[in-house]
């Protein structure tokens, strides 16, 4: 859900920015506007979250242990969804804050994703346990 809401926000923001920005990925970052550079950075963060999620899902599909990978994906995707949706609202300016604009709804919805999938701290604790080979009683 986090990857999807972030992607929807990016797509909608790209649509809105096309009116004022070129959005040419071949242009060096130092030569583009702040809005374009921010959008490119958010797209890179989204891609990382998507790939981590796909890796964890692939491992589950192939009956491989994926507790660590799933926790990494959940932690990254929740954080990225929140960052992306809030930044997209900001990039869209006054239009992004309008209640009839989906960007505003997605930004509100993304707040729950961190809690829904388990808080960042819990996911990172699970990752630490897997990396260190500790049980839940050994590492709290």
Domain architecture of the chain: domains with CATH: 2-132 (1.20.140.10)
Q: Over the stretch 24-65, which tens digit does the pLDDT of each residue have?
A: 887 887 888 899 999 999 999 999 999 999 999 999 999 999
Residues with a known catalytic role = 117
- Name every residue whose Cβ is closer than 8 Å to that of residue 66 and which is 6 or more positions away in sequence: 56, 59, 60
In this prediction, residue 117 has a pLDDT band, given cuts at 50, 70 and 90, of: low
Give the number of other CB atoms < 10 A from CB of residue 37.
14
pLDDT at 39: 94
Distance (Å, whole) CA 105 – CA 89: 10
Q: pTM score, two decimals? A: 0.84
């Amino acid at each position: 859900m986090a990857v999807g809401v972030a992607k929807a926000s990016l797509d909608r923001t790209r649509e809105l920015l096309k009116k004022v920005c070129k959005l040419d990925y071949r242009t060096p970052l130092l030569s583009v506007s702040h809005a374009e550079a921010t959008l490119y950075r958010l797209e890179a963060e989204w891609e990382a979250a998507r790939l981590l999620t796909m890796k964890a899902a692939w491992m589950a599909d192939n009956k491989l242990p994926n507790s660590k990978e799933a926790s990494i994906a959940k932690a990254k995707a929740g954080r990225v969804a929140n960052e992306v949706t809030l930044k997209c609202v900001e990039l869209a300016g006054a239009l992004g804050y309008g209640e009839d604009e989906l960007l505003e709804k997605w930004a509100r919805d993304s707040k729950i994703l961190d809690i829904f999938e388990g808080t960042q701290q819990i996911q990172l604790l699970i990752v630490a346990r897997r990396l260190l080979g500790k049980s839940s009683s050994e590492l709290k």
